[in-house]
């Protein structure tokens, strides 16, 4: 049988997606059913337990194909956006509703139960969350579920940012969270994925996948005179985004936050912890 990346392959020893029959070994093969994420963000974990490590997060409005569920309230499936596989809380999912028309373009925003911002919010929505808007009522977008969201914080689903580095810079100071993808906390690859997605650029979830899939190689080591804004610097298990020839931006466990660092200082520090740079890659080349 062919080897697949288990992070991206809906297959276990006891069960696999029907489309993988004949390609992976499993006791049975099942058709999946597509759901949407209805919570602001939903944790995706590699095992069905609330204390299992966070692998990634799915944001409101994302689609996920579910192949299995257990009695403890967990559903096992694959995200449509980046194909990551894992367990999600079943109560964070619902059958497909109306297609999303808008997305959150602010770092975060509130959903209110009525048209007044003096009401207690019912949700805090992250950048990239997708909503089906029924109408614009003065300065509020009213979703098909009846929530009121400041229209200024939304953008049409097909309108994109143009500078992914500027998007990433908006997360400066956000706490580091392994597997996170929102302004409540995120990791290095989550920061890059969210920033590129805001610009309409497809991006895998983990840094090793990103190193293989994104852009073209510039160099195996950093010569700062050759760097351009938006270049990606990779180490084993880490990625940073070049802002200019002197600094780059990254979510990192040393600062436990998204931070801007002098490139030379950061390279020396990371070399001691993670080894040498594995590549520098440039998008749009």
What pLDDT score does 1 carry?
53
Place of tokens 């497809």: 202
pLDDT by residue, tens only, the chain of 285 residues? 557 999 999 999 999 999 999 999 999 999 999 999 999 999 999 999 999 999 999 999 999 999 999 999 999 999 999 999 999 999 999 999 999 999 999 999 999 999 999 999 999 999 999 999 999 999 999 999 999 999 999 999 999 999 999 999 999 999 999 999 999 999 999 999 999 999 999 999 999 999 999 999 986 556 667 899 999 999 999 999 999 999 999 999 999 999 999 999 999 999 988 899 999 999 985
What pLDDT score does 221 carry?
59
User: CB–CB of 95/58 below 8 Å?
Assistant: no
Overall pTM surpassing 0.85 (yes/no): yes
Q: What angle do CA 36, 62, 109 make, to 5 degrees?
A: 110
What pLDDT score does 220 carry?
54
What pLDDT score does 284 carry?
83
């Amino acid at each position: 049988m062919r080897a697949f990346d288990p992070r991206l392959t809906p297959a276990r020893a006891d069960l696999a997606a029907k489309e993988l029959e004949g390609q992976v070994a499993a006791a049975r093969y099942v058709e999946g059913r597509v759901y949407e994420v209805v919570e602001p963000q939903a944790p995706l974990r590699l095992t069905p337990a609330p204390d299992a490590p966070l692998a990634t997060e799915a944001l409101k409005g994302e689609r996920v194909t579910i192949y299995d569920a257990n009695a403890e309230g967990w559903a096992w499936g694959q995200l449509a956006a980046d194909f990551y596989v894992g367990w999600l809380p079943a109560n964070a999912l619902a059958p497909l509703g109306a297609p999303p028309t808008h997305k959150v373009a602010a770092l975060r925003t509130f959903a209110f139960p009525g048209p007044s911002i003096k009401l207690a919010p019912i949700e805090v929505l992250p950048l990239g969350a997708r909503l089906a808007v029924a109408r614009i009522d003065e300065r509020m977008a009213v979703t098909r579920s009846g929530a009121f969201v400041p229209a200024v914080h939304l953008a049409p689903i097909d309108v994109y940012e143009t500078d992914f580095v500027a998007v990433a810079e908006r997360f400066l100071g956000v706490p580091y969270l392994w597997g996170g993808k929102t302004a409540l906390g995120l990791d290095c690859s989550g920061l890059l994925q969210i920033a590129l997605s805001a610009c309409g650029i497809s991006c895998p979830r983990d840094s090793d996948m990103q190193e293989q899939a994104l852009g073209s190689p510039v160099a195996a080591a950093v010569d700062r005179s050759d760097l351009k804004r938006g270049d990606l610097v990779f180490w084993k298990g880490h990625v940073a985004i070049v802002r200019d020839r002197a600094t780059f931006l990254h979510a990192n466990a040393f600062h436990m936050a998204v931070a801007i660092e002098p490139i030379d200082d950061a390279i020396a520090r990371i070399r001691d912890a993670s080894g040498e740079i594995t590549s520098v890659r440039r998008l749009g080349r």
